[in-house]
Amino acid sequence: MIVECITDTGAMRKSNEDAVEFGIVDENHAWVAVCDGMGGVHGGNIASSVAVKEIKEHIESVFTDKTTAGNIKAMLNNAITKANAAVLKKAESEPEFIGMGTTAVIMVAAGEKLHAIHVGDSRAYLMDGDEMERLTMDHSYVQNLINFGQITEEDAKLHPQRNIITKVIGVHEEVAGDYIVADFKSGCKAIACTDGLTNHVDDNKLFDMMQEKTGREMLEELINTANENGGSDNITVALLEK
Give the 3-state DSSP-derived string for the chain, with helices as H, strands as E and coil as C: CEEEEEEECCCCCCCCCEEEEEEEEECCEEEEEEEEEECHHHHHHHHHHHHHHHHHHHHHHHCCCCCCHHHHHHHHHHHHHHHHHHHHHHHHHCHHHCCCEECEEEEEEECCEEEEEEECCCEEEEEECCEEEECCCCCEHHHHHHHCCCCCHHHHHHCCCCCCECCCECCCCCCCCEEEEEECCCCCEEEEECHHHHCCCCHHHHHHHHHHCCHHHHHHHHHHHHHHCCCCCCEEEEEEEC
Q: Give domain 2-241's CATH superfamily.
A: PPM-type phosphatase domain (3.60.40.10)
pLDDT band, residue 153 (cuts 50/70/90): confident
Q: 128: burial class by Cβ within 10 Å (0-12, 13-18, 19+)?
A: middle
pLDDT at 150 over 90: no
The rounded distance, in Å, linking the Cα atoms of 175 and 22 is 23
Strand partners, 115: 108, 181
- The answer to whether 222 touches 12, Cβ cutoff 8 Å, is no
User: Mean pLDDT over residues 101-107, rounded?
Assistant: 97
Residue, of 18 and 150, whose pLDDT is higher: 18
pLDDT at 90 over 60: yes
This prediction's pTM: 0.95
Summary mean pLDDT of the chain: 93
Q: What pLDDT, on the 0 to 100 scale, is given for residue 40?
A: 61
